[in-house]
Amino acid sequence: MDLILPLPALLAVQGVIAAGLGQVMGLARWWLPINLVIPAAVALALSLNLPSWVYPVVFIALALVFWNSADDRVPLYLTNRTTWRTLQDLITRESTRKGNDFKATDVGCGLGGALLYLARQCPEASFVGIESAPLPFAIARLRVALSGLSNLSIRYGDLWKQDLADYDLVYCFLSPEPMPRIYEKARAEMQTGSLLISNSFAVPEVLPEATLEVEDRRETRLLLYRL
């Protein structure tokens, strides 16, 4: 006998499966509610009989946000405000340790929120954001332009083509996939004593200098690798 589920139950089951797969694949926790509601949202959109042009517009918008996900295996992760403050403490400590001309970069800076906060709180340091997804880059660039901050700039481009030699601190919130490569790139290009900070994702078989537990809801960890 075939089991036939009513549509709401079927959509709920699909949402639970999508959310479960997302967690198994290591997606951030904020993806959980998104994956849960995606099947229902698709069903709702189909029932509304929206104009045909809506779908390519949505597709293009998503492509502009997740432009680099397929190649780099890096989804859009946003650093939360609690982690911003922990990064501020780290940068204050590192810039005091080094002295003048302290430079930091966020490789994959997304919408630029973390860098805007850090640039305001640490005016003695200079910051560069690197982003390869067109829409987040445009938003981050506009936010920086409107902020009037002179110690922050946003660059568009592939992080693998960026030279890290000038930076005292590199921050990344990527995914497990590129961590070995970003670590080797940092080792090859950054100066002795500089710092690579990874949000949540460890470099396999490399012991960090320290691991900071951030007191936030997602239990963020910052892994510090001294080069």
Q: What is residue 33's DSSP assignment?
A: H
pLDDT higher than 50, residue 214: yes
Its pTM stands at 0.73
Q: Which of 213, 173, 162, 176 is nearest to 196 (CA)?
A: 173
Backbone angles phi, psi at 189, to 5 degrees: -110, -30
Proportion of the chain above pLDDT 70, given as a percent:
76
pLDDT digits (tens, 9 = 90+) for 30-74: 667 777 777 777 767 667 676 665 556 555 555 455 556 555 555
What's the pLDDT band for 98 if we cut at 50, 70, 90? confident
The pLDDT score that the predictor gives to residue 152 is 97
**Which residues have C-beta within 8 Å of that of residue 127, sequence separation ≥ 6?**
103, 104, 105, 106, 115, 118, 119, 151, 152, 153
3-state SS, residue 184: helix
Domain 81-226: CATH architecture, name and number where available: 3-Layer(aba) Sandwich (3.40)
Most confident of 65-69, 96-100, 103-107, 129-133: 103-107
The pLDDT score that the predictor gives to residue 223 is 95
pLDDT digits (tens, 9 = 90+) for 130-149: 988 888 889 999 999 999 99
Domain locations in the chain as residue ranges: 7-49, 81-226
Backbone angles phi, psi at 11, to 5 degrees: -65, -40
What's the pLDDT band for 1 if we cut at 50, 70, 90? very low
The mean pLDDT of 119-132, rounded to a whole number, is 94
The pLDDT score that the predictor gives to residue 175 is 83
